[in-house]
Amino acid sequence: MTGHPALFWHPLDDGRIQCDLCPRDCKLHDGQRGLCFVRQNSGNAMWLTTYGMSSGFAIDPIEKKPLNHFYPGSTVLSFGATGCNLACKFCQNWDISKTRDFARLSQAATPDQIAATAKRHGCQSVAFTYTDPATFLEFVIDCADACHALGIATVAVSAGYLYPQPADALFSRIDGANIDLKAFNHNFYHKLCAGKLTPVLDTLERIRHHHATWLEITTLLIPGHNDNPDEIAAMCDWIIDHLGGDTPLHFTAFHPDWRMRDTPPTPAATLTQARAIAIDLGMPFVYTGNIRDPEGGTTYCPRCATPLIEREFYTIRSHLPDGDNRCPQCHTPIAGRFTVHLDGD
Ligand code: SF4
């Protein structure tokens, strides 16, 4: 067996083993793989088959994750594996999330090599992204520990579809997270993702209240499926009540992909309307993505409305004083992690 012993599973009385990582509860005979395809019963024990392998590395601006309040203007070394534990019909990374072709995992690297590469290229952080880090959790844990040993921060881009115990194992090692809240209706998760909404909400609350992880949220608005203004308002009310109104929220544009090629792209007006709804309800840090919208890319002071950080796609202009999280006009503290520093220099 190639791979790495997996965490979070238990044997069943009928001879199978059950994965306890995510709410799919895959029950596997010897040799079978879970729905994510990367966790496998081999010899009546669970293995992560993709440990140490990546679908490719890239150096990105942190704004591309997207994270707008987490070391803005810094660069992040990004990578993912294959496999995913959701089955979203609109997946924008389906070529790596749904592949069964392990030859796509072309780049092997150890956690120490990944951390050292980030440091050598001046990256503030390493991101586990493109596919869900929950599915390659054991590798993420080792990479995160290696990164922290070199003073490199860690970022997870995740759907948050996992059980509390593995969520704790993951987010206790993650400094910044962007979690997809794909919709605020159970039917959407059931029909379009083959998943459930409630575990995602549980993960969001867990990150916010049990971990020091900086949290931002992304909702990809898909015409006719999750862009109803009442649903957006209900989602924002939930975020305000359960996570805090200063949680940054990104509304991004859908483009036809994977099994939803007949659905039209999201009009820019839908994104700006959603942003206006969230702001009216009391969320000051709401952004639009995948469209050109200078206003929707700007961080404003929640008190005096001074533009603090302006973004044109991934080019940014910051007006925050160095090392200070306060508005230079009215001195209101701005939620986020703004001071860039690399330990161990
Ligand atoms: S992580 Fe994979 S194997 Fe485990 S329950 Fe989820 S889909 Fe199944």
Query: pLDDT, tens digit, for every residue of 85-96?
Result: 998 888 876 665
Pocket lining: 301 vs ligand 1, CB cutoff 6 Å: no
**What per-residue confidence (pLDDT) applies to 262?**
83
Ligand 1 atom 6 nearest Cα:
22
**What per-residue confidence (pLDDT) applies to 183?**
97
Q: Which atom of ligand 1 is nearest to the CA of 35?
A: 7
pTM exceeds 0.75 for this model: yes
More confident residue, 257 or 320: 320
- Output the CA 7–ligand 1 centroid distance in Å: 11
What is the separation of C-alpha 154 from the centre of its chain, rounded to a whole number of angstroms?
12
- Please report the domains of the chain, with CATH numbers, ordered by start residue: 4-48 (no CATH), 53-291 (3.20.20.70)
Residue pair 302/280 in contact (Cβ under 8 Å)? The answer is no
**pLDDT level of residue 228 (50, 70, 90 thresholds):** very high
| E strand or H helix at 28 | strand 27-28
Alpha helices in the chain (DSSP H): 94-97, 111-120, 137-149, 164-171, 186-193, 198-210, 229-242, 268-281
Pocket lining: 34 vs ligand 1, CB cutoff 6 Å: yes
Residue with tokens 């200063």: 246
Q: Which atom of ligand 1 is nearest to the CA of 34?
A: 3
Residue 345, helix vs strand vs coil: coil
